[in-house]
Chain A
Amino acid sequence: MPPLLTVSDLTTTFPSDGRRVPVVDHVSFTIERGEVFALVGESGCGKSMSALSLLRLVPKPGRIDAGSIVLEGRDVLALSVNEMRAVRGFDIAMIFQEPMTSLNPVVPCGAQVVEAIRLHEKVTKAAARERTVALFKRVGIPDPEQRFDAYPHQLSGGLKQRVMIAMALSTHPKLLIADEPTTALDVTIQAQILELLRDLRRDLGMTIILITHDLGVVSELADRVAVMYAGRIVETGRTRDVIDAPLHPYTRGLVRSIPARAPRGVRLHEIAGVVPPPTEWPDGCRFANRCPAVLAYCAERVPPVETRERDHQVWCHAVTAGLLP
């Protein structure tokens, strides 16, 4: 069976000073049915833009410049505006980082889910309502009947995110994109939402793209992971392989800065510097100016792919040259 989603050389650019700067640069990955695939990286590395590109919702003046997105044999980038509208929410659903502001404040929560259902399926309002209440129950919203008529401001952040998840699940999408679904929530609520995603995945066999900067979340939830840095994927593979035996210096830095894995009483590792803005990205390896293992030619030449066992891939000159174990 072919993979559910194949993304090849996806390039999304924004204009800056008369030229187009890629914020997503030749990103490729495939997603199999039923798996949880994590996209990891610091803020500003292009994770969210990659996700919005999949739905063709890149905010203007950004646009997808190159590459292909194939969902079950259909080229998503070749679809008409109307065909794309039918894909959004029906084939690919998305939940966002900010549950506080992602729901329409003047429409009751239930009506927003009903709208999502009725945009894609010809069902009566009553039937859609019944389904919505059942979904609310499924995602763990207490008193679903009452919550149906509640306005977003009457719910807590965690409940709002559950409404968002219910909305995303309402049409049984083939792929769920969860963009930092827990980042804006309290720690205890974070755990509950992650638990919910895990349950949904187990019970419904959901295919999920999980976007996060939290490697702890990745190791709990994801089957495979791609580490992004400055618009490019620098390392990808099975979660166990990438987290237990990271190859790229950037991934090593990230793994060493997971609090749960650090010995007590030792200062947590941090990667020096910040992700430079897209206009200042080096031509070669984008991590060159922060890399502890940088070589003379790293900043000039784009690193080739190095494939290890079980499809563990890494793009790093030092690894290819055998300078890093």
Chain B
Amino acid sequence: MLAYVLRRLLYGVVTVLGVLLFLFILFFSVASPDNMARRAVGEKASPKVIENWKKEHGYDRPLWPWQDPKSNLLFDHFRKALTFEFGKSDADSAPIVERLKAGAGPSLTLTVPLFVLGVLIGVPLSLFVAFFRNTYIDRMGLVLCVVAMSVSILLYIVGAQFLIGKLLKWFPISGFDRSIAVIARFVAMPIVVGLAAELGAEIRLYRTVFVEETSRDYVRTARAKGCGEARVMGRHVLRNALIPVLTNVVIQIPFLFTGALLLESFFGIPGLGSVTVDAIQGNDFSTLRTMVYIGALLFVVAQILTDVSYALVDPRVRLE
């Protein structure tokens, strides 16, 4: 087990290095420091202003080691990323770490309840429709799911803001407040919208898994030895279906930290999703690079977690 995890970690490191190289090519080679500077200070800026901007933000050195083996941007990029030295924002020179710290809290207050409620509602509901498979309850559920997942999240957002926020005035249309007393008022609507947008697809996926399991031979054996339907579903089917369900759940966990781009920016929540959106809009290249890098890092972690959780719930999986 330990050897397996170590080997997976090693693969992860290789993947992360690849991502970093890719990032460098995108951010430094495809879009050169000159391009960045022009985006930041304006197309018509004089060469001197551009040189100054590059110098201020540390882009004034050569890109590749063969141009200058001692001081080049490629080595810098790798060294800083691997030591988690994220540096300063290209937009306002604030330390990026501070921005991450400030954004993590609001993001997590939105994404963690969204994730937990998604699992707590999605799994029992899909078990429920699977229990009534091929009846009108199941078919109606499926139609609802397809409708729910076909509607764009933008429509949910605007619709909820109009209906719940403007007409019914149950919750503020958007905004955020860090004090515990009122925080729920601000995240309630985005959570409901997020659930509406994701539950359809999730229930459909889990239902398929459950229904597939109910046609297995061991289910017939369980019935033949006298298990009731509830026990068949709750003990035999659920335990086997848990394997694919769990992988789908575990892989979501790391992304709780990257926040929800659309929900945060539409509901004015200053989370990490907003940090990313602001960075894109504000020509803040260093912050954007950092967010992409963190996303890739979390993705690699998610993959390893998924593989390990597989081994934990399925006795047939042997890790070598």
Contacts and interface: CB of A to CB of B under 8 A. Distances in A.
Interface of A: 55, 57, 59-61, 81-82, 85-90, 93-94, 96, 98, 101-107, 115-116, 119-120, 151, 153, 164, 167-168
6 contacts: A57-B220, A57-B224, A82-B228, A88-B226, A105-B240, A106-B239
A81 B314 CA distance: 32
B313 A101 contact: no
Contacts of A82: 228
Main secondary structure of the interface of B (DSSP, over half): helix
Contacts of A87: 226
Contacts of B315: 105-106, 151, 153
A93 B217 contact: no
3 A-B pairs with the lowest CB-CB distances in the bound complex, closest first: A89-B225, A89-B226, A101-B217
Interface of B: 134, 216-218, 220-228, 236, 239-240, 243, 313-316
A106 B226 contact: no
Main secondary structure of the interface of A (DSSP, over half): mixed
Nearest to A60: B134
Contact of B220 (A85, A96, A116, A119): A96
B134 A93 contact: no
B218 A105 contact: yes
Q: Considering residues A96, A101, A104, which has the most beta carbons from chain B within 10 angstroms of its beta carbon? A: A104
A98 B217 contact: yes
Nearest to B231: A119
Contact of B225 (A88, A106, A107, A151): A88
A294 to B, nearest CB: 38
Contact of A101 (B216, B225, B239): B216
A37 B134 CA distance: 36
A168 B228 CA distance: 17
A87 B236 CA distance: 20
B224 A55 contact: yes
B224 A101 contact: no
Contacts of A55: 223-224
Nearest to B228: A85
Contacts of B313: 106
B318 to A, nearest CB: 10
Contacts of B222: 104
A49 to B, nearest CB: 13
A88 B217 CA distance: 16
A93 B316 CA distance: 28
Contact of A57 (B216, B223, B236, B314): B223
A168 B225 CA distance: 8
A164 B218 CA distance: 11
Contacts of A96: 217, 220-221, 224
B224 A89 contact: yes
Nearest to A87: B226
Contacts of A116: 225-226
B211 to A, nearest CB: 12
B42 to A, nearest CB: 63
A130 B194 CA distance: 52
Nearest to A167: B225
A88 B224 contact: yes
B223 to A, nearest CB: 6
Contact of B221 (A59, A86, A104, A119): A104
Contacts of A105: 218, 240, 314-316
Given A85-B226, A88-B223, A151-B315, 14 more contacts: A88-B224, A88-B225, A89-B226, A90-B226, A104-B236, A104-B240, A105-B240, A106-B243, A106-B314, A107-B236, A115-B225, A119-B227, A153-B315, A168-B225
